[in-house]
Amino acid sequence: MLDDDFLDDELSSMEELLGRYEEVKQGTASYLLQEEEFEQIIEFYFQGSNEEQALLACEIAATYYPFSGDILLLKAEILTQAQKYGQALNILDEIDQLDQCSLDAVLLRSDIFLSQYKYDQAAALLEQKADDFVGKDRTELLLELADVYDEAEDFEAVFDTLKRILQVDRRNEEALQKLCFWADFTGRNKESITLHASIIDEDPYNALAWFNLGSAYQSEKLYEKAIDAYEFCVAIDEKFEFAYRNMADAYMRVKWYERALEVLEKHLEIAKPEDVIYEAMGFCYEKQKNFTKARYYYRQASQLSPEDDSIFYKIGETYTREKQWEKAVKAYSVALHLNRENASYCMAIGNCLMEMNVKNEALICFLNAVRLKPNNKSTWVALIKGLYLSGFYEEALTQIELAKENCDDKPDFHYLKSLCLFDLGKSKEALVHLEAGLKTGLKKLKMFTELNPENLKRTAVNDLITYYKKKQN
């Protein structure tokens, strides 16, 4: 916090300078303002959104310092802000005559082209001027060029430009951070691996380079190599939180859930709690079938993101895995309350209610799922299965025909129709649809056998199944 006395002194000094400027403007001054003082005055008016006074100050300053590139640049900035691009470009032409290597002038000209959606001109300008600058100035120009290519949606050129920066400035943090994203976005992860490996050869303690290397490996699904890279990253910088985050994800990809949990715990030690971290921990415990701990961390996540319906769905899934149907319904219901348009939540509640033998309510849930996703096979299958298990065979057959109208003829529907027809005593017709299902979707046979295993006692059913299994082999 700034000292009050300091602020008072600054204000008093500015007031004094403005008073002297007024005397110069009126022609009553017996002294000359310095170039830097004019710049202060122009900046004061410019920052105060007083365009008219700022431009007037520029004009007065120019009478005393006609060859000042800084004052001309300020004038160009003011005109650009006012969207007077033609006038601003004329001023920049004047600056070019005075100083061919003004980085600020080049960048402002580029900004004007961007404001006019002249991406090609902006890129051509920066490409042309890139070799006129060295060191940090050249890096700044190339970063601007990368942004121009981004605006122009030439994403390959963005990647190439960032590579150019890193070839000469191995530790440029902005370029390293951006390249990590663009390597993945453009699918040029193999190039990224080569580039960052070469950076690390020269600079083995570059934490960002190790992180980017890990990210590129991870995008290529080389998870163990990614983990090794992240380990080096956090060894150099133990507070590099995104490295822990990505490392945990890599461990989860290879199903090393215990190690993933250790990494996530470390993340919690160095960074503020986040819902995604707690959610990841819940996922790991769920995969380890420790559903109590999974729910604990899912609930921790829900406290940070109480409007995230997916977390409550995951809590419901843990209860379902334990066959705690009532608790599962409560969790799924919260998810559905938060997101009324999610058909999966309706189906999940419906499946639990079927297990609880509350079939009518279950069927309502399945109907809602179909209403939400009428072109989705899964919603129809859930409804038709529910009708079949409830003994509504004729209605199930009706819904099968509606399902076929909405999402084409699927093997699932033939198996379900066969089941209904068998239970209605229409064995010949049932066998026809069973065969149709076997012809087009043998992998879906499991649904037929699980819904009514008694059908396997039928000789004709077994013969058909055996025939098509042999035919597949």
Summarised one tens digit per residue, pLDDT across range 453-472 is: 999 999 999 999 999 999 88
Mean pLDDT, range 32-41, rounded to an integer? 88
**CB-based contact 465:445 (threshold 8 Å):** yes
Q: What is the DSSP letter of 30?
A: S
Residue 2 pLDDT grade (very low, low, confident, very high; cuts 50, 70, 90) = very low
pTM higher than the cut 0.75: yes
Both ends of the chain: CA-CA distance in Å? Answer: 78
Which residue, 331, 338, 335, is CA-closest to 316? 331
Query: Is residue 382 situated within a structural domain?
Result: no
Instruction: Render pLDDT for 294-303 as a digit per residue (tens, 0 to 9).
Output: 999 999 999 9
Per-residue pLDDT at 335 exceeds 70? yes
Percent of the chain with pLDDT over 70: 97
Residue 357's SS3 state is coil
CATH number at residue 243: 1.25.40.10
Query: Is residue 176 situated within a structural domain?
Result: yes
Query: Is residue 162 situated within a structural domain?
Result: yes
Instruction: Render pLDDT for 203-215 as a digit per residue (tens, 0 to 9).
Output: 999 999 999 999 9
Mean pLDDT, range 30-47, rounded to an integer? 86
Q: What is the DSSP letter of 153?
A: T
Query: Is residue 21 situated within a structural domain?
Result: no
Per-residue pLDDT at 135 exceeds 70? yes
Q: Distance between CA 161 and CA 147 in Å, rounded? A: 10
Query: Is residue 238 situated within a structural domain?
Result: yes
Range of the domain at 245: 154-254
Residue 97: its pLDDT value, please? 86
Query: Is residue 330 situated within a structural domain?
Result: no
Per-residue pLDDT at 8 exceeds 90? no
Residue 33: its pLDDT value, please? 86
Query: Is residue 233 situated within a structural domain?
Result: yes
Q: Where are the alpha helices (DSSP H) in 130-256?
A: 135-151, 155-168, 173-186, 189-202, 207-219, 223-236, 241-253
pLDDT, mean over the chain? 93
CA distances 210 to 10, 20, 69, 190, Å, are 46, 57, 43, 15
Q: Within 10 Å of residue 372's Cβ, how many Cβ atoms?
A: 17
Q: Domain end: 228, 254, 280, which one?
A: 254
Instruction: Render pLDDT for 76-102 as a digit per residue (tens, 0 to 9).
Output: 999 999 999 999 999 999 998 887 678
Query: Is residue 315 situated within a structural domain?
Result: no
Per-residue pLDDT at 9 exceeds 60? no
Q: How many domains does the chain have?
A: 2
Quick one: which H or E segment has residue 450?
helix 445-451
Q: Domain end: 211, 231, 254, which one?
A: 254
Q: Distance between CA 56 and CA 4 in Å, rounded? A: 32
**CB-based contact 231:217 (threshold 8 Å):** no
Q: Domain end: 199, 234, 254, which one?
A: 254
